[in-house]
Amino acid sequence: MALFYKAWLESRVRFLASAGVLAAYCISFVQQARLNFPPVFEPRLPYTVYIWRGVYNGIDTLLFVVVALVLGLGGLQRERAAGTADFTLALPLTRIRLLLPRAAVAMGEVAALAIIPAIVVPWMSSRIGHVYPVADAIRFAALFVATGAVWVSAGIFWSTVTSAELTGAVAAILTPVVYVATVSSTALRRWPAANIFNVMNGAHLPYLDPATSLFTGRFPWGAALVLTLVAAGLVAASAAAATRSDF
C-alpha cells in the first residue's frame, strides 16, 4: 500500500488540478445553455447534440487526453532528475513492482476524471430545465476510461523508455498528434474505428445516433476490449523496458 500512496502523493496535484478544470468547464458549458441554446442558426438542434459537441467532442476531450498522458509520466526517470532514484532502487522491490502501483493509481485517476462529466452534465442540465440521459453519460464515461487507459499507458511507456523526464513528456504529448496525422493521411482513414478519438465519442460510428448524438442502444464492448488490450500491452512493454533500464 505504501507504493500506491507514494504514487498518489506524486500525482495528486496534477489530478486535483485537472479535476477542477474539467468540472469547471463542464459546469460552465452547460450553464451557458441558458443563453446559447438553441443556437441562433440551428433552432431545431437537439439538446443532446449540443452537449455532445461541447462536452464529448469539445475542448475537454483534448484536455482529458493530455491529462491522461501527463498522469502516466513520472516514475524512476522523474526520481532520477530529483536525485531520489538511488533510494527507491535500494528498496527490496523489483522495478515491475515499482511500476505497477503507479500505473494502477494513474488508471484510477483517469477513471475518476471520466466520471466527472457523467455527474455534472445530467445534474446541471436538470437545473437549467433540460434533460440529458444518465445512461448515455455513463456510457461515454466508460469509453473515456477505456481510451484514457491507452493514453495513460502511453505516458508510462515514454517515461520508462526515455532517459530524461522532459524527453518523455515531449514524446508523450506528441504521440496523439502523430497518431492522428498517421490515421488521417493513410488508408486507415477509411475505417473510422481506427481513430481512437472516434471510438472515444462515437463520431462516425454505428453505435451513436447522428440525429441525437445518443447511443443507439448497444455499447461497443469490442472496441472497449481492444483499447484495454492495447493499454495492457503498453504497460507490459513498459515493465519489460524497466527491467532493462540502466540507472
pLDDT digits (tens, 9 = 90+) for 138-165: 999 999 999 999 999 999 998 888 867 7
- Tell me the mean pLDDT in the region 112-137: 95
- Tell me the mean pLDDT in the region 119-130: 94
How far does the chain reach from its first CA to its final CA, in angstroms? 25
Confidence of residue 78 (pLDDT cuts 50, 70, 90): low
DSSP letter at 215? E
Closest-CA residue to 135 (of 23, 51, 219, 55)? 219
Of the listed ranges 11-20, 81-90, 194-203, the least confidently predicted one is 81-90
* CA 104, chain centre distance (Å): 14
Q: What is the pLDDT of residue 62?
A: 87
Which range, 141-145, 214-218, 219-223, 235-239, is most confident? 141-145
- Tell me the mean pLDDT in the region 159-175: 81
Q: Is the pLDDT of residue 212 over 60?
A: yes
Q: What is the pLDDT of residue 85?
A: 47
> pLDDT per residue over 57-68, tens digit each?
988 888 899 999
Q: Is the pLDDT of residue 89 over 70?
A: no
Residue entry with cell 453505435: 207
Q: Is the pLDDT of residue 92 over 70?
A: no
Closest-CA residue to 204 (of 218, 184, 222, 190)? 190
Please give the torsion angle defined by the CA atoms of residues 246, 70, 238 and 180, in that order, rounded to the nearest 10 degrees.
-120
Kindly report the pTM of this predicted structure: 0.88
Mean pLDDT taken over the chain: 85
